[in-house]
Amino acid sequence: MSRIRLAMLLFVASESVFFILLIIAYVVYHATTPSAADAFRYLDVPKTGIFTACLVGSSFTMWRAGIHFRNGARRAALALLFTTLVLGTAFLAGQGVEYVSLIRKNVIISRDLFGTTFFTLTGFHGLHVFIGLTMLGTLFGLELKRGIVDPLRAVDSVSIYWHFVDGVWAVIFPVVYLWILQ
Amino acid sequence: MNGGSVPPEKAGTVFQMKEYKGLLSWLSPVDHKQIGIMYFITSLTFFLVAVSLAMIMRTQLIRPNHGWLSSATYNQVFSMHGTTMVFLAVMPMLIAFMIYFTPLMIGARDVAFPRMNALSYWLYLMGGLLLYFSFFTGGALNVGWSAYAPLTETNYTMSKYMIGTGVDYWIVGLLLAGAGTIMNSVNILVTVAALRAPDMKLSRVPLFVWMSAANAVLMLLAMPALNTALVMLFLDRHLNALFFVPAAGGKPLLWQHYFWFFGHPEVYILILPGFGIISEVIPVFSRKPIFGYAFLAIATVAIGFLSFGVWAHHMFATGMNFTVYYVFALASMLIAVPTGIKVFNWIATMWGGSISFDTAMLFAVAFILQFTIGGLTGVAFATVPIDWALTHTYFVVAHFHYTLLGGTLFTVMAGFYYWYPKITGRMLSEKLGKIQFWLMVIGFNGAFFILHFAGLAGMPRRVYTYPDLPHLASINLISSLSAYILALGILVFFANLIVSLRKGKPAGDNPWNGATLEWATSSPPPPRNFERIPPVRSITPLWDLKESGRLPDTLPSSSRERDNE
Ligand code: HEM
Ligand SMILES: [Cu+2]
């Protein structure tokens, strides 16, 4: 295992603890406070479902990009990397739209415990998506100009981070959005 | 087998090396040894500040109804003492040993990510400075180092009783330093995994390295728990989130759960590298390989693992159901088993060895005794009814100072006396060392043993003064006077660090006849650490070389030969 890969895995392990505790906080408050019912009224599950599909899809394109890089198919790999970037941006834009519509309905972080836990959890996830997109963008830009000494490793470590960000959402989506469906 | 080419008599100190000359070199360090030295200096400075705060507390407490400090000031003093000792003094001091010695001990040229190493340091320094900046902004942290909610909420900290943004500076400072610590862990773990010398198998890695690696895992997984709690609190304070606001359904106890889910591993983070230092010092000064190497390594991993499952023993007083009590009480007592067996391992190593009581060894032996006392009161606390009776009294203060001061700080002292020659190229004065040792042993035990009784007599911790009830006056007087003796010992230590840099005897490559690789290079080591790395066939590579006759046995080996200053 390369050093970078190991370092990224360790970092992701550390970040996992951070998110697990945020998710636990969400669940604890959701299960114990009556205000949880509010969630049902304001969240747009199908719409977020679509953006979720974007994010999951971006994990797939990222994985394929890695494979193409390894096989030397650089152009295909770059195209897939770009698709990943677009899909990730779409997810973040979707989150922005969702936030705006919630805030219009006065669902804000200080409204009740749903607001508090919802915005904290999804906000920190969004922040991580943003960081991931910055990494992807840097990777794409540099590789376009052939500015990376060891593109394989760079792609490998960025994709670990990206899969992690997706994986976190794969837990958040059912916990936050599907839980209220019953 | 001389790694360096300079003969000991001519060797300068580390600060005279051309690679470390000039301001620029200290502003842009990447060498793990230079960064390690910066960690040492910074953490020693914060340590001195925290000791001064402790002396202010002991002076305030020297007699009942003492009106020197106001309660508001005292609250800041003890909160900053605890926070500084834990986050800015002792933990970074241990990290300094980790990043300085891990690469040397495994035969590597640097850590895996030297620039990230530098970033860790700057984050730590800036976090610490931010924390102290709060004194100029209306008041420092005043709610204890554990900052229990809801006392930290704005409606309390911004009331007419306390004004201040101390909590905010505390949050941001710890987040910064914590980010640096997480990077430290990644760096140490990758270094140990990827950069070991060719024949340095995991089963031959020095115990200090094992314990540093275990410690890195703990930091990696515990610091983010603190970060979660900190950002939740930050959002409460700045965006009016409601995590810990009871009136809105928020749960202050959630803070305690998260804080101690970090906090209990944290107390092991504060001791594991110390165990590592002891496991190096005792064999060298007993002239015997460590007893039960594999057990010590595995027990450390076990302790690390278990330490994530006992956090609620800090919360027995909050009222939980009995299953929870049983589980956490038993799990806590269980940790005492591997820890206790370690103590036997160290004793067994000394048994029948030819022990030389140099200062490093004295500190190691005192550590074993004092840490055992702290461990015993710890097991007492794991017993729920005892905890109910004694929690939040001075019994707790006595307990954790026996583990952190009589324990960790003593291991750190052993580490300094053992490794200062390697780091600087000069020996610390043994004469001053012995004076320091006795001042610290007498001062420490005098100051803290008796505080157990203050706790039993019902004196609560975190109070700025106390009424003149039976015994309290005399107990506190003895404790404060002893604390001054302890502080004097600490001053002697600092004097020794400075004086020996100029006047100390040149160290030579291997003054203690150490067995591990850091002694196979010059003191101070050259920038890339080694010219040649000796073969590693066991956990004591340098002793193997000597036995096979390939190492000239010109090294002084008893303390009497050496102690002619
Ligand atoms: C130099 C010698 C030291 C002295 C005289 C000393 C003294 C004290 C005293 C009297 C208290 C109790 C304050 C109160 O509850 O009102 C205290 C609290 C504390 N000390 Fe020390 N201490 C020393 C060194 C250390 C060291 C080396 C550490 C550890 C790493 C440490 C960590 C703490 C912590 C965490 C607290 C709790 C602060 C709080 O209640 O929030 N101390 N110390
Ligand atoms: Cu604990």
Is pLDDT at B336 greater than 80 in this prediction? yes
pLDDT score, position B262: 97
Task: In whole angstroms, give the CA distance from residue A117 to residue B239.
Answer: 12
pLDDT digits over B434-446, tens only? 999 999 999 999 9
pLDDT of residue B228: 98
On whether the CB atoms of residues B293 and B318 are closer than 8 A, the answer is no
Tell whether the model's pLDDT for residue A170 goes beyond 90: yes
* pLDDT, average across residues B429-456: 98
Q: Is the predicted pLDDT of residue B556 greater than 80, yes or no?
A: no
What is the 3 state secondary structure string of A21-79? HHHHHHHHHHHHCHHHHHHHHHCCHHHHHHHHHHHHHHHHHHHHHHHHHHHCCHHHHHH
Q: A28 and B241: CB-CB below 8 Å?
A: no
Within an 8 Å CB–CB cutoff, is residue B241 touching chain A? Answer: yes
Q: Kindly indicate the confidence band of residue B155, based on its pLDDT and cuts at 50, 70 and 90.
A: confident
Residue that has been written with the tokens 């009497």 in this structure:
B560
CA B180 to chain centre: 16
The whole-angstrom distance between A109's CA and the closest CA on chain B is 6
Among the ranges given (B193-197, B242-246, B494-498, B558-562), the one the predictor scored with the smallest mean pLDDT: B558-562
Residue whose entry in the numeric block shows the structure tokens 């603890």: A17
Q: Is B269 in the pocket of ligand 1 (CB under 6 A)?
A: no
DSSP annotation of B108 reads -
The answer for A137, left when phi > 0, alpha when psi is -120 to 50, beta otherwise, is alpha
- Quick check: A35 pLDDT over 80? no
Q: Which residue do the tokens 């003191």 mark?
A: B523
- What tokens appear for A106 in the block? 């006065």
Q: What is the DSSP string of B45-78?
A: HHHHHHHHHHHHHHHHTTSTT--SS-HHHHHHHH
Residue B215: give its domain's CATH number. Answer: 1.20.210.10
Residue whose CA is at the smallest distance from ligand 1 atom 3: B54
Measure Cα distances from B489 to B1, B220, B308 in Å: 37, 34, 35
For range B491-501, the mean pLDDT: 97
Q: Which residues contact B199 (CB under 8 A, 6 or more apart)?
A: B535, B536, B537
Sketch the domain layout of chain A as residue ranges.
Answer: 3-181
- Taking the mean position of all CA atoms in its chain, how far away is CA B492? 19
The answer to whether the Cα torsion of B56, B58, B59, B64 is positive or negative is positive
Q: For residue A119, list chain B residues with Cβ-Cβ distance below 8 A.
A: 241
B565 has pLDDT over 50? no
DSSP 3-state assignment of B506? strand
The pLDDT of residue B138 is 80
Instruction: Say which residue, B8 or A110, is predicted with more confidence.
Output: A110
**Cα B169–Cα B174–Cα B178 angle in degrees, nearest 5:** 155
Nearest one of B219, B70, B225, B124 to B132, comparing CA atoms: B124
* HSE of A76, CA atoms in CB hemisphere, 13 A: 12
Q: What is the DSSP letter of B393?
A: B
Cis, peptide link before residue A34, omega less than 30° from 0: no
Strand partners for B393:
B460
Q: Is B539 touching ligand 1 by the criterion CB < 6 Å? A: no
Amino acid found at B264: H
Mean per-residue pLDDT of chain A: 92
Kindly state the average pLDDT of the residues B407-413. Answer: 98
Which is nearest to B236 in space by CA: B329, B168, B309? B168
Give the pLDDT score at B9. Answer: 47
Instruction: For residue B271, give the nearest of B21, B68, B90, B8 by alpha carbon.
Output: B90
CA distances from B558 to A25, B75, B511, B563 (A): 59, 49, 10, 9
The residue of chain B nearest to residue A116, with distances taken between CA atoms, is: B241
Question: Does a structural domain hold residue B6?
Answer: no
The band of B111, judged by pLDDT with boundaries at 50, 70 and 90, is very high
Domains identified in chain B, total number: 1
Domain span at B148: 26-564
Predicted confidence band at B22 (pLDDT cuts at 50, 70, 90)?
confident
Which of B194, B232, B249 faces A120 most closely, judged by CB atoms? B232
pLDDT of res. B397: 98
Output the average pLDDT for chain B: 92
Q: Is B450 in the pocket of ligand 1 (CB under 6 A)?
A: no
Q: What is the pLDDT of residue B555?
A: 39
Each residue of A101-125: pLDDT tens digit?
999 988 999 988 999 999 999 999 9
Contact between A140 and A81 (Cβ < 8 Å): yes
Chain A residue with minimum CA distance to B218 = A14
User: What spacing in Å lies between the alpha carbon of B299 and ligand 1's midpoint?
Assistant: 28
With a pLDDT cut of 70, the percent of chain B lying above it is 94
Q: Which residue has the higher pLDDT, B496 or B19?
A: B496
Q: Which residues from chain A sit within 8 angstroms of residue B248, using beta carbons? A: 112-113
User: Could you tell me the two tokens for B48?
Assistant: 């001195």
Average pLDDT over residues B404-431: 97
Give A112's contacts in chain B (Cβ within 8 Å): 242, 248-249
Does position A36 have pLDDT exceeding 80, yes or no? no
The predicted-structure confidence for B295-335, as pLDDT tens digits, reads as follows 999 999 988 989 999 999 999 999 888 999 999 999 999 98
Q: What integer pLDDT is reported at residue B156 of this predicted model?
A: 82
The answer to whether residue B142 scores a pLDDT higher than 80 is: yes
Nearest of A83, A57, A59 to residue A165 by alpha carbon: A59
Tokens of A100: 């705006």
B244 and B266 Cβ atoms separated by less than 8 Å: no
Q: Probe ligand 1: pick from B267, B397, B436, max atoms within 8 Å of CB?
A: B397
Cα-trace Rg, chain B:
23
Residue B486 lies in a domain: yes
Residue B3: pLDDT over 90 = no
pLDDT digits (tens, 9 = 90+) for B203-223: 999 999 999 999 999 999 999
Average of pLDDT values for A45-60? 96
pLDDT tens across B230-258, in order?
A: 999 999 999 999 999 998 889 999 999 99
CA B325 to chain centre: 29
Residue B354, token pair as written in the block: 């030819």
Which residues, in sequence order, are CB contacts of B53 under 8 Å at separation 6+? B77, B78, B80, B81, B84
* Whether pLDDT at B8 is above 60: no
The C-alpha atoms of residue B340 and residue B327 are separated, in whole angstroms, by 20
**pLDDT bracket for residue A147 (50, 70, 90):** confident
* Cβ contact A15:A164 at 8 Å: yes
d(CA B275, CA B412): 10
Residue B326 located in a structural domain? yes
* Chain B residues lying within 8 Å of A1, measured CB to CB: 193
Q: Are B176 and B75 in contact (CB under 8 A)?
A: no
Q: How many residues does chain B have?
A: 565
Q: B35 pLDDT band (50/70/90 cuts)?
A: very high
pLDDT higher than threshold 60 for residue B558: no
Question: Does B24 reach chain A within 8 Å, measured CB to CB?
Answer: no
Residue A132 pLDDT greater than 90, yes or no: yes
- For atom 33 of ligand 1, the residue with the nearest CA is B82
pLDDT band at B2 (very low <50, low <70, confident <90, very high): very low
Asked if residues B458 and B422 have their Cβ atoms less than 8 Å apart, the reply is no
Length of chain A: 182
Residue B164 has pLDDT above 90, yes or no: no
Q: Kindly state the average pLDDT of the residues B345-363.
A: 95
Q: How far apart are CA B510 and CA B523, in angstroms?
A: 8
Sign of CA dihedral A15, A17, A23, A25: negative
- Confidence (pLDDT) at B546: 84
Q: CB-based contacts of B360: which residues, under 8 Å, 6+ apart?
A: B281, B285, B414, B415, B417, B418, B512
A3-181: what CATH class? mainly alpha
pLDDT at A41: 78
The residues near B557 (Cβ < 8 Å, ≥ 6 apart) are B287, B356, B513
Model-level pTM? 0.94
pLDDT computed for residue B162 by the predictor: 61
For residue B319, what pLDDT is reported? Answer: 87
Q: Is residue B17 part of a domain?
A: no
- First-to-final CA distance of chain A: 44
Q: Give the integer Cα–Cα distance in Å for B263 and B226.
A: 8
Nearest CA among A136, A149, A141, A167 for reference residue A66: A136
Percentage of chain B lying above the pLDDT 90 cut: 84
Average pLDDT over residues B101-121: 97
